[in-house]
Amino acid sequence: MGRREKPLDPGLGAVQRFAYALRKLRDEAGTPTYRSMARQAGYSGPTLSAAAAGERLPTLPVVRAYVVACGGDPEEWARRWKEAVAEVGDARVSDSADDDPGPYPGLARFGTGDEEHFHGRGELVDGLVRLTGRARITAVVGASGSGKSSLLRAGLIPALRGLSLLTILPGPATG
């Protein structure tokens, strides 16, 4: 079970009102998990969760993906989003029609489905694959935000899925 969302007060302005309405749409859809929404939306669960957090307006492509994952009308929600942008007057909010989420998830961690966007750590992933084949317990440690979860989810897990167990597990002792 995921963390409970912080309460929103729709009377505090356009951003909270918009997030409140997104949450209501999700509730009406049967309260799917953000993880299940992410599988269909093309955006990560944390990105979808942030869209309904009420801290800032999400981008229009994220709103469309969130709404479609909840069975809503994306055109109606595009209109509502534009009204919220006009009320907030925030030029930093993107109304880009580009539905490509891009290869970098921002501050969100990479997920197991993001392996095609996860680059630059091939040697480390290969070393972890070999290590998990030899050791009963393997720990990945590092500073907060250094990419440990992304390394495991978008690097190690897909690599292990692509191998047969016979490739990574040590054979019987000889001699």
Cβ contacts of residue 137 below 8 Å, gap of 6+?
none
pLDDT of amino acid 152 = 86
Whole-number Å distance between alpha carbons of 49 and 101: 15
Name the pTM for this structure: 0.52
Token readout for 38 is 């992410």
Do 170 and 133 form a contact (C-beta atoms < 8 A)? yes
How far is Cα 138 from Cα 49, in angstroms, rounded to an integer? 31
Tens-place pLDDT, residues 111-168: 777 777 777 788 988 899 899 888 889 898 988 878 888 888 888 888 888 775 545 4
- Residue 97, pLDDT score: 44
Structure token digits, residue 100: 């490509």
Assign 28 a pLDDT band (cuts: 50, 70, 90).
very high
In the predicted structure, residue 74 carries a pLDDT above the cut 70: yes
